[in-house]
Structure 1
Amino acid sequence: MRHLFLPVTGAIALSCSALFTGPASAQDIADTIYSGGTILTMDDSAPRAEALATKDGRILAVGTRADLLAHQGESTRAYDLDGRTMLPGFVDSHGHVVMGGLQALSANLLAPPDGGVTDIASLQEALRGWMADNQEAIAASNLIVGFGYDQSQLAEQRHPTKADLDAVSTDVPIILVHQSGHFGAVNTAALVANDITKRTPVPPGGIIRYGADGEPDGVLEENAFFMVLGQMLGGVGDEGFKAFARAGAKLWASFGYTTAQEGRATPQVAAIAREVAAEGGMGVDVVVYPDVLVDRDFILANQSATYDNGVRIGGAKLTIDGSPQGFTALRDRPYFDPVGTYPPGYAGYASATPEQVQDAINWAFGNNIQILTHANGEGASDMLIAAIDAAEATHGRADRRPVLIHGQFLRPDQVAALDRLDVFPSLFPMHTFYWGDWHRDRTVGPINADNISPTGWVRERGMMFGTHHDAPVAFPDSMRVLSATVTRRTRSGDILGPHQRVDVMTALKAMTLWPAYQHFEEAEKGSLEVGKIADFVILSDDPTAVDPEALDTLKVVATIKDGSEIYRAKDGPQKTLLVPPVGHHVLDVAHAAARKN
């Protein structure tokens, strides 16, 4: 914590000046005035400000220090930014906040820099370490969960098998979630618990892998994995899922997100989010998109433009294909050099049929429901574009704001089609850091890798776009998202597609104002303008002033939702209560036991 008595400069200087200003009406008196640092508004008409005032959770005024003195009263708090930078709170363009809690509460199997797993042996040790620290939870759930392994980052460049996991435990079922969320690995106990044998029917859109003996080897893909994951996590019960939701919301807030997304939910998950919100356990706003192939009646009955305790059903989610780094995204050409046993000309596969895709898009357009569609490969995007073309021919053009999620292997003609059809692209440039080298060497090759997550092509057409983390695929690390969008630097230091890079302000809009538009909330969120909700993030430095290569070193030091702090790092800024005359100010040391950043 900084010294309790701030000098008579900065925020306290407002107190001195207030003695010489005329009285303001009660409705114009601010609850809080923020100053003492850079304020980036995302408002093109006034992109920077010296000070900002809030009242009742809304922005009251934005401008110079002198402008805002008129809104200062005896009870107004001065929030000293202490040289840091304030922006609109980040809006999650795509993530899974409820399931993000699973990441927070399971064994960390991520590769560096987010974890320490580099081979099968270190993966096994990470599991054993987590088990030693979580004996009570394991006994209660009879389940061991690990999250975030990635075969592309393991020395063996393969998925762990049941034999690898049996070496950790033969008694308690183990399930590992791949970092993409589209694969999993289980031990023999988990196979037995789920009645998976060589005679088990393979679900459409999924794969059960088998060993040389013809028996399942423990590796599951897509719908085969989702089926097992749902059954195994079902044992944690409602309270377990509520713990996931609370942990996910805290994790999002720690990275500056004030609006989160649950980007593929069931009605049960939506109910969990609502219960946690009603108990005051979210803190951030959450927009939920239930799976359109699961329960359309639920979506129709519950879709809303307004929040209830900070949660609303925003529309529907459709998934067409899988993971590009796992070679299950549906391409329009063969993969470049996939690792594994694949037939000649292998181009991935769809998890939904063309008929299902067309039916889902028609239903959404016919009911004016916003639909978010996961499509990674060019083949999947072709299916989506064809379905939207047909749906518009039937139902006409309207402001539905359909969203393409990921679109990592887009062609230029597909970007043009998205523009023509008013499809909002929520892109994944963070992939350039985590899997850029893998895409260059294995999935699409060195030429096409330059154009993954093509933000440059999108901006050439003047289109808005969102950028996302897809957590728990990766941590909801806002500064990693920002850095990857601006630099496109990979883990190895390579730069993929310099022509696809964008400037810092464009990248920030893709995290604030433009995803607010994506959610039909641009009138309420995404920029610091009078009347909008007082959702802010405070960063350790000005992202427009630092070396772009240092963007990933910036820290979130505070997150503010509806005018109240919901997260503060250990060295976060202080708030000061102004009580003129000078010398009678009182320091509000809220969140003294704030979490370490």
Structure 2
Amino acid sequence: MIYSWTIKRYLLQFFASCFCLALIFQSPQTTQAETSVGADTLYEGGPILTLEADGETVEALVTQNGQILATGSRASVEKYIGPNTRQVNLNGYTLMPAFVDGHGHFTFFASLVDGVNISSPPAGPMKDHDDIVAALQKKIKDDQIPPGESVFGWGYDDSLLLEGDHPDRDTLDRASTEHPIVLVHVSGHLATANSQALKAFNYTAETPDPPGGVLRRRPESQEPNGVLEENAMMPAFSILMQGNPEEKIQQIVRAQQGVFAKGITTVQDGATSPEAYSLLANTADQGLLQLDVVSLPLVEAYDAITAQGVVPLEYKNRLKVGGVKLILDGSPQGKTAFFREPYLIPPPGRDKDYRGYPRIDQATTDAALKRFADLGIPLYGHANGDASADMYIEALEKAMAGRDEIPAHNVMIHAPLVLEEHLDVMKKYGAIPSFFTAHVFYWGDFHRDSVMGPERASHLSPTRWAQDREILFNMHTDTPIVPYDQFHLVWTSVERKTRSGQVLGPAQKLTVHEALRAVTYNPAWIYGEADQKGTLSPGKIADMILVSQNPYDVAPSQIPKIEILATWKDGQLVYGQVPKDAKEKKKNSSGHSGTH
């Protein structure tokens, strides 16, 4: 009986698709209208990937009013082509479904539009602390930031900096002692602040560590050294929401274009605060959202947001509350995730038995899972360690006990150390892992050599375990933790190569088709939108991208080099254009077998 909701959901999506097909192909009135009016647009002249089946391509696709009317051979769609049908010649380039963001932080990403990029390659140019100081000084000078106004930076990675450590308050004081400066770690789970910022946060030697957080201290002292872990960094995020409301809306609009440029037409805003939701709602109400945005309010923010008349799980002006988010622990790259066994090399100031720590207790986790299961609202639980995964699974089992149906598909976010025993329970109760597969490339070497050791790292982000259990997992970039780049995600999951070029966990590799579905159809299914998105199928909305290469035909090593040439949302071109010159056909000399 526990599978009944999953079965019902598949049936609902199936019948919805059938209904759309019936309207298109069987209704005499619809057929007459189509015959007289014709399709809006015909796309042909290049491979069109439906993603319905492995490697499936069609010759032509026609749309009407932002929906896909039909796909197939040129002859099969001829009946929909009228005198006013616009014809788009793909010139040999590949058309495929647009990407659906499995998990990220859209408003956070938007807030960084005006911040300082302090990432290390390939996401940014920072090599050491001196580079960071110079970048901050340049920002203050170029923008003529007055004393007392905050300066914000994002993306520093201590594991990639020459010093191998966090820039502390003394380092940031070199950039300025007149501006509060806050830099957020690439994990999003630590920050570092200069003396002015610490003063603004009222952090002193007398300040105790907050529950679920740590103020790192200077040696032989209780004076904060500037590095803030987990809940201790929450005051820093208040800086992000500062600014003129209209300027914040324009940040959203500019960020939206950046997302379209990456081929994404549905984006997630995980851990939405009431302030961030108001920003999104104001943008949406002004008709400025072209993206579909799925908001996941923090559990503690849900009541405040829905009290504004928000109806969960329903879009309004392209914005919907699609679930809630609960943060159970920190990050493995920040060494704050909650592990069963100790870290291979503990962070400074920790002993050899250090295992990280939870941000909340088991009772809080249990209560949240049960409450939102009762409401039929998916709960997205951030669990980076295997011990935090234990907490989530225990709460899931308690929440599902005694139920005949699954009220919602809960999600374990990131799940880098989820185990087979966890996945078995998730399969039973219809829960889904959303894998931050980018860990393998960005921090795979660091995880193996410093965080967890080779054995645990061998099943980092275990996508094959989930695939073999026929769990519809998705994959995500957790942007702005790493940049939106879904083809890089696909490549990472297919080849499992780290920065150093070593293969990490070859047993967890996916095929190209499996990986593509994990960034298109699967996240759409988790959002309850698989009847509308994720494949190029009749009746679905025309969310599509044109790309420079067919990902099924190139060698896996070439997948991250595939370019997004154009993006369509609801049939409207929102980014780029179709190149006027025909694509040069090149023989694949890579020896790639074409295995999908």
Same fold by TM-score greater than 0.5: yes
Q: CA deviation at 1:297?
A: 5.4
Contact 1:303 1:315 in 2 (8 A): no
- Counterparts of 1:45 and 1:33 in 2: how far apart (Å)? 24
- Counterparts of 1:512 and 1:206 in 2: how far apart (Å)? 36
Q: State which drifts further: 410-419 or 34-43.
A: 410-419
In structure 1, give the amino acid aligned to 2:250: A
In structure 2, give the amino acid aligned to 1:280: G
Contact 1:99 1:248 in 2 (8 A): no
Aligned match of 2:140: 131
Q: CA deviation at 1:262?
A: 0.3
**5 Å matches for 1:476-491?**
476-491=484-499
Q: CA deviation at 1:37?
A: 1.1
Q: Which runs of 4+ in 1 moved over 6 A?
A: none
- Counterparts of 2:110 and 2:263 in 1: how far apart (Å)? 16
**Can you give the 5+ residue segments of structure 1 that lack an aligned partner in the other structure?**
1-21, 576-597
- Counterparts of 1:349 and 1:243 in 2: how far apart (Å)? 38
- Counterparts of 1:396 and 1:541 in 2: how far apart (Å)? 47
SS of the residue corresponding to residue 344 of structure 2 reads coil
- Counterparts of 2:188 and 2:328 in 1: how far apart (Å)? 15
Alignment match of 1:78 (pick from 49, 62, 87): 87
| Inter-CA distance 47–211: structure 2 relative to 1 (3 Å threshold) | same
Aligned match of 2:317: 309
SS of the residue corresponding to residue 258 of structure 1 reads strand
Contact 2:374 2:407 in 1 (8 A): no
SS of the residue corresponding to residue 545 of structure 2 reads strand
SS of the residue corresponding to residue 132 of structure 1 reads helix
Question: Alpha-carbon deviations, 1:550-597, whole Å to 9, x = none?
Answer: 11111111111000011116xx4369xxxxxxxxxxxxxxxxxxxxxx
- Counterparts of 1:444 and 1:366 in 2: how far apart (Å)? 37
Q: CA deviation at 1:124?
A: 1.5
In structure 1, give the amino acid aligned to 2:494: V
Aligned match of 2:584: none
| Inter-CA distance 167–360: structure 2 relative to 1 (3 Å threshold) | same
Alignment match of 1:166 (pick from 154, 173, 179): 173
Alignment match of 2:44 (pick from 27, 30, 35): 35
**5 Å matches for 1:371-382?**
371-382=379-390
**5 Å matches for 1:432-447?**
432-447=440-455
Corresponding residue pairs, total: 549
Question: Alpha-carbon deviations, 1:75-125, whole Å to 9, x = none?
Answer: 211112121111111111101111111333211111111211111111222
Aligned match of 2:579: 573
Aligned match of 2:62: 53
Q: CA deviation at 1:134?
A: 2.3
- Counterparts of 1:82 and 1:120 in 2: how far apart (Å)? 47
Determine whether 1:364 maps to 2:372: yes
Contact 1:98 1:249 in 2 (8 A): no
Determine whether 1:538 maps to 2:546: yes
- Counterparts of 1:451 and 1:104 in 2: how far apart (Å)? 35
Q: CA deviation at 1:418?
A: 1.5
Determine whether 1:149 maps to 2:149: no
SS of the residue corresponding to residue 152 of structure 2 reads strand
Contact 2:148 2:180 in 1 (8 A): no
Aligned match of 1:583: none
SS of the residue corresponding to residue 456 of structure 1 reads helix
Aligned match of 1:262: 269
Q: CA deviation at 1:25?
A: 4.0
SS of the residue corresponding to residue 372 of structure 1 reads strand
In structure 1, give the amino acid aligned to 2:498: T
Aligned match of 1:326: 334
- Counterparts of 2:200 and 2:408 in 1: how far apart (Å)? 43
Q: CA deviation at 1:395?
A: 4.5
Aligned match of 1:11: none
Q: CA deviation at 1:139?
A: 3.7
**Can you give the 5+ residue segments of structure 2 that lack an aligned partner in the other structure?**
1-30, 582-596
- Counterparts of 2:481 and 2:250 in 1: how far apart (Å)? 19
- Counterparts of 2:410 and 2:244 in 1: how far apart (Å)? 33
Determine whether 1:105 maps to 2:114: yes
| Inter-CA distance 207–112: structure 2 relative to 1 (3 Å threshold) | same
Aligned match of 1:179: 186
- Counterparts of 2:341 and 2:259 in 1: how far apart (Å)? 37
Contact 1:374 1:404 in 2 (8 A): yes
Contact 1:469 1:481 in 2 (8 A): yes
Aligned match of 1:401: 409
Determine whether 1:247 maps to 2:265: no
Q: TM-score, normalising length from structure 2? A: 0.89
Contact 2:472 2:522 in 1 (8 A): yes
SS of the residue corresponding to residue 435 of structure 1 reads helix
- Counterparts of 1:425 and 1:123 in 2: how far apart (Å)? 35
Contact 1:319 1:375 in 2 (8 A): yes
Q: CA deviation at 1:133?
A: 3.0
Q: CA deviation at 1:46?
A: 8.9
| Inter-CA distance 72–409: structure 2 relative to 1 (3 Å threshold) | same
- Counterparts of 2:300 and 2:570 in 1: how far apart (Å)? 35
| Inter-CA distance 430–55: structure 2 relative to 1 (3 Å threshold) | same
Contact 2:51 2:536 in 1 (8 A): yes
SS of the residue corresponding to residue 132 of structure 2 reads helix
SS of the residue corresponding to residue 151 of structure 1 reads coil
- Counterparts of 2:233 and 2:301 in 1: how far apart (Å)? 17
Aligned match of 2:396: 388
- Counterparts of 1:449 and 1:49 in 2: how far apart (Å)? 40
Question: Alpha-carbon deviations, 1:376-411, whole Å to 9, x = none?
Answer: 100111011110100111544324010110000122
Contact 1:287 1:313 in 2 (8 A): yes
**5 Å matches for 1:522-533?**
522-533=530-541
- Counterparts of 1:75 and 1:338 in 2: how far apart (Å)? 67
Q: Percent identity?
A: 36
Question: Alpha-carbon deviations, 1:147-177, whole Å to 9, x = none?
Answer: 1001111111111101000100110111101
Contact 1:454 1:500 in 2 (8 A): yes
**5 Å matches for 1:215-254?**
215-230=223-238, 232-254=239-261
Aligned match of 1:9: none
Aligned match of 1:69: 78
Q: CA deviation at 1:486?
A: 1.2
Question: Alpha-carbon deviations, 1:28-49, whole Å to 9, x = none?
Answer: 6111111111111111399321
Aligned match of 2:209: 202
SS of the residue corresponding to residue 167 of structure 1 reads helix
Question: Alpha-carbon deviations, 1:254-274, whole Å to 9, x = none?
Answer: 110010000110122111111
- Counterparts of 1:28 and 1:425 in 2: how far apart (Å)? 45
Q: TM-score, normalising length from structure 1? A: 0.88
| Inter-CA distance 75–573: structure 2 relative to 1 (3 Å threshold) | farther
**5 Å matches for 1:510-525?**
510-525=518-533
Aligned match of 1:272: 279
| Inter-CA distance 45–187: structure 2 relative to 1 (3 Å threshold) | closer
- Counterparts of 2:404 and 2:366 in 1: how far apart (Å)? 15
Q: CA deviation at 1:517?
A: 0.4
In structure 1, give the amino acid aligned to 2:292: D
Question: Alpha-carbon deviations, 1:270-328, whole Å to 9, x = none?
Answer: 11111112223332100101001234353475243332111111121111011111111
Contact 1:91 1:516 in 2 (8 A): yes
- Counterparts of 2:570 and 2:147 in 1: how far apart (Å)? 37
Aligned match of 1:193: 200
In structure 2, give the amino acid aligned to 1:472: P
